[in-house]
């Protein structure tokens, strides 16, 4: 048992190191999102993940990017997600945003609280969880990562701590996406000295 826990810890640490390297290399939220989603879904051993952003000055979540394991075509779910905007408290991503805490939906594919339940059910994705980025005050949430699975199992406390850490790591690229790069700003006009 101790050896199994040690192997899991090493798996968490390797994933964290790999993700940190990918986030450092990335130059945009859209570029780093697939790596983040793949890494976290891999840790969970779940099939799909999506990233939602709270654009500056907005009161709704906007779909940024989706990822799924090879062989699973979740494009119908992502198409529907692109069409939706969730306010605080709406849908699973909106619930995680409103609470500032990880939200779990074991009944994602059957509960009327989730507008994408039918698409998820058609894909065999029965359960989901959403992680606010960063975890904490709802007013500080800048994005929500959402993950889907066909086979829900309760996650260990250790893994939940790792997921919270990943949310903190992902906060930097999300925050930077909200602030225009200096390179993108127009050059100041030159003044002629007279």
Radius of gyration of the chain (CA): 18
Taking every pair of C-alpha atoms in the chain, what is the biggest distance, in angstroms? 80
**CB neighbourhood size of 117 (10 A):** 21
Encode pLDDT of 49-108 as tens digits: 999 998 887 889 999 999 999 999 999 999 999 999 999 999 999 999 999 999 999 999
d(CA 65, CA 24): 19
Q: How far is CA 34 from the centre of its chain?
A: 9
> CB under 8 Å to 187, separation ≥6 — which residues?
none
Q: What residue spans define the domains of the chain? A: 9-179
> CB under 8 Å to 181, separation ≥6 — which residues?
none
pLDDT of residue 22: 65
Which phi and psi angles does 101 have, rounded to 5°? -135, 160
Beta strands in 46-172 (DSSP E): 48-53, 62-68, 103-105, 127-133, 143-149
Position 187 confidence tier, pLDDT thresholds 50, 70, 90: very low
d(CA 32, CA 65): 10
Encode pLDDT of 124-155 as tens digits: 999 999 999 988 899 999 999 999 999 887 76
Better-scored residue on pLDDT, 182 or 14 = 14
Q: Is the pLDDT reported for residue 193 higher than 60?
A: no
d(CA 120, CA 173): 28
pLDDT of residue 184: 35
- 131 contacts 41 by C-beta, under 8 angstroms: no
Residue that is written with structure tokens 């050896």 in the block? 3
pLDDT of residue 27: 66
d(CA 23, CA 11): 18
Q: Is the pLDDT reported for residue 114 higher than 90?
A: yes
| CB neighbour burial string for 57-96, b if at least 16 within 10 angstroms, e if fewer | eeebbbbbbbbbeeeeebeebbeebeebebebebbbbbbb
- 41 contacts 48 by C-beta, under 8 angstroms: yes
pLDDT of residue 87: 94
Q: Is the dihedral of CA 29, 117, 41, 5 positive or negative?
A: positive
Encode pLDDT of 9-33 as tens digits: 566 666 666 766 665 566 677 777 8
CATH of the domain spanning 9-179, picked from 3.30.70.2740, 3.40.50.300, 3.90.420.10, 3.30.450.40: 3.30.450.40
């Amino acid at each position: 048992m101790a050896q199994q826990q040690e192997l899991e810890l090493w798996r968490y640490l390797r994933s964290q190191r790999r993700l940190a390297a990918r986030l450092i290399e990335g130059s945009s939220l859209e570029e780093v999102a697939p790596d983040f989603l793949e890494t976290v879904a891999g840790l969970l051993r779940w099939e799909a993940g999506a990233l939602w952003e709270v654009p500056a000055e907005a009161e709704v979540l906007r779909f940024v990017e989706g990822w799924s394991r090879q062989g699973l075509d979740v494009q119908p779910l992502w198409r529907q997600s692109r069409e939706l905007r969730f306010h605080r408290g709406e849908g699973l991503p909106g619930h995680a945003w409103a609470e500032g805490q990880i939200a779990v939906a074991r009944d994602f594919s059957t509960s009327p609280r989730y507008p994408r339940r039918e698409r998820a059910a058609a894909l065999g994705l029965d359960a989901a969880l959403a992680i606010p980025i960063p975890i904490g005050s709802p007013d500080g949430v800048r994005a929500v990562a959402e993950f889907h699975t066909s086979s829900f199992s309760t996650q260990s406390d250790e893994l939940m701590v790792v997921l919270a850490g990943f949310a903190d790591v992902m906060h930097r690229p999300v925050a930077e996406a909200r602030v225009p790069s200096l390179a993108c700003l127009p050059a100041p006009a030159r003044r002629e000295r007279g």
